[in-house]
Structure 1
Amino acid sequence: MSDKSESSSFEDLAAAAELEAAPLTSPDASDIPQWLDVLGSGHLLRRTITEGKSDLRPLRGDICYLNYKGCLLNSTVIENKENFEVQIGDGDVIQGIDLVLPLMREGEISELQISSRFGYGEIGMAPDIPPLAELLYTVELVSFKPEPDLDTFSIQERKVIGNKKRERGNWWYTMQEPMMAIQCYRRAIEYLDETKGGITDPTADGKIEFASEELHSLLDDRIKAYNNMAAAQMKQGSYDIALGSVEKVLNVQPNNVKALFRKGKILSYKNDVAEALKVVRRALLLSPDDKAIKAELTRLEERDKKDSQRERDLARKMLGGHSGPESKSGSGKGEKPKKGGGKKIIVWGSVVFSLAIGVISIALYKYKIV
Structure 2
Amino acid sequence: MTEKEETMDASDSHDSAPSVKKNARASLLDSGEDFEVLDEEDIDDEPPPLEDAGGGKGENTDESEKKNADTDSDPPGPVEEWLDVLGSGQLKKKVLESGEGRDSRPQKGQNVKINLKTCLKDGTLVEEQPGLPFTLGDGDVIQALDLTVQLMEMGEKALIQADAKYTYGARGSVEPEVPPNAELSFEVELLEATDAPDLELLPPPEKIALASNKRERGNVHYQRGDYAFAVNSYSIALQITESSSKVDISPEEENELMDVRVKCLNNMAASQLKLDHYDAALKSCVSALEQQPDNIKALFRMGKVLALQGEYTEAIQCLRKALKLEPSNKTIHAELSKLVKKNSEQRGAEQAMYKKMLGNPASCSSSSSSSSSSQKHRAKSSWGLSWKWLFGATAVAIGGVALSVVIAARN
Match of 1:355 in 2: none
Which runs of structure 2 are paired with 1:109-128 in the superposition (5 Å)?
A: 109-126=157-174, 128=177
Which runs of structure 2 are paired with 1:203-218 in the superposition (5 Å)?
A: 211-218=250-257
- Comparing 140-149 with 60-69, which one deviates more in the overlay? 140-149
Tell me the distance in 2 between the aligned counterparts of 1:116 and 1:324: 70
Report the CA distance shift for 1:317/1:142 in structure 2 as closer, same or farther (over 3 A).
same
Tell me the distance in 2 between the aligned counterparts of 1:295 and 1:247: 23
Q: Does 1:220 align with 2:268?
A: no
Q: Does 1:252 align with 2:300?
A: no
Q: 1:91 aligns with which of 123, 139, 148?
A: 139
Letter matched to residue 98 of structure 1:
D
Aligned residues: 305
* Shift in Å, 1:76: 2.3
Q: Does 1:312 align with 2:359?
A: no
Report the CA distance shift for 1:27/1:36 in structure 2 as closer, same or farther (over 3 A).
farther
Match of 2:11 in 1: none
Q: 1:63 aligns with which of 95, 111, 121?
A: 111
Tell me the distance in 2 between the aligned counterparts of 1:194 and 1:34: 45
Local SS of the residue matching 2:140: coil
Local SS of the residue matching 1:136: strand
Local SS of the residue matching 1:53: coil
Q: Does 1:144 align with 2:193?
A: yes
Q: Does 1:270 align with 2:309?
A: yes
Tell me the distance in 2 between the aligned counterparts of 1:161 and 1:63: 12
Letter matched to residue 63 of structure 1:
N
Match of 2:62 in 1: none
Local SS of the residue matching 1:89: coil
**Superimposed CA distance per residue, residues 188-219 of structure 1 (whole angstroms, 9 cap, x where no aligned partner):** 112222514999xxxxxxxxxx8532222222
Report the CA distance shift for 1:108/1:310 in structure 2 as closer, same or farther (over 3 A).
same
* Shift in Å, 1:25: 7.5
Match of 2:222 in 1: 173
Tell me the distance in 2 between the aligned counterparts of 1:284 and 1:298: 11
Equivalent pair of 2:201/2:246 in contact (CA under 8 Å): no
Tell me the distance in 1 between the aligned counterparts of 2:307 and 2:186: 45
Which runs of structure 2 are paired with 1:12-161 in the superposition (5 Å)?
A: 31-55=78-102, 56-126=104-174, 128-161=177-210
Tell me the distance in 2 between the aligned counterparts of 1:149 and 1:188: 15
Local SS of the residue matching 1:80: strand
Tell me the distance in 1 between the aligned counterparts of 2:273 and 2:89: 32
Tell me the distance in 2 between the aligned counterparts of 1:93 and 1:79: 14
Tell me the distance in 1 between the aligned counterparts of 2:246 and 2:290: 17
* Shift in Å, 1:49: 1.0
Report the CA distance shift for 1:193/1:107 in structure 2 as closer, same or farther (over 3 A).
same
Q: Does 1:238 align with 2:277?
A: yes
Equivalent pair of 1:194/1:215 in contact (CA under 8 Å): no
Local SS of the residue matching 2:141: coil
Equivalent pair of 2:116/2:130 in contact (CA under 8 Å): yes
Tell me the distance in 1 between the aligned counterparts of 2:329 and 2:361: 49
Equivalent pair of 1:281/1:297 in contact (CA under 8 Å): yes
Between Structure 1 and Structure 2, whose CA radius of gyration is higher? Answer: 2
* Shift in Å, 1:174: 0.4
Tell me the distance in 1 between the aligned counterparts of 2:296 and 2:149: 41
- TM-score normalised by the chain length of structure 2: 0.68
Match of 2:404 in 1: none
Report the CA distance shift for 1:94/1:25 in structure 2 as closer, same or farther (over 3 A).
closer
**Superimposed CA distance per residue, residues 79-118 of structure 1 (whole angstroms, 9 cap, x where no aligned partner):** 3111111101111110011011111111111111111111
Letter matched to residue 235 of structure 1:
K
Tell me the distance in 2 between the aligned counterparts of 1:321 and 1:198: 73
Letter matched to residue 304 of structure 1:
N
Equivalent pair of 2:171/2:224 in contact (CA under 8 Å): yes
Tell me the distance in 2 between the aligned counterparts of 1:27 and 1:72: 9
* Shift in Å, 1:32: 2.0
Higher helix fraction: Structure 1 or Structure 2? Answer: 2
Letter matched to residue 247 of structure 1:
V
Equivalent pair of 1:23/1:41 in contact (CA under 8 Å): no
Local SS of the residue matching 1:90: coil
* Shift in Å, 1:78: 2.1
Tell me the distance in 2 between the aligned counterparts of 1:272 and 1:158: 39
Tell me the distance in 2 between the aligned counterparts of 1:106 and 1:26: 22
- TM-score normalised by the chain length of structure 1: 0.75
Letter matched to residue 32 of structure 1:
V
Equivalent pair of 1:155/1:194 in contact (CA under 8 Å): no
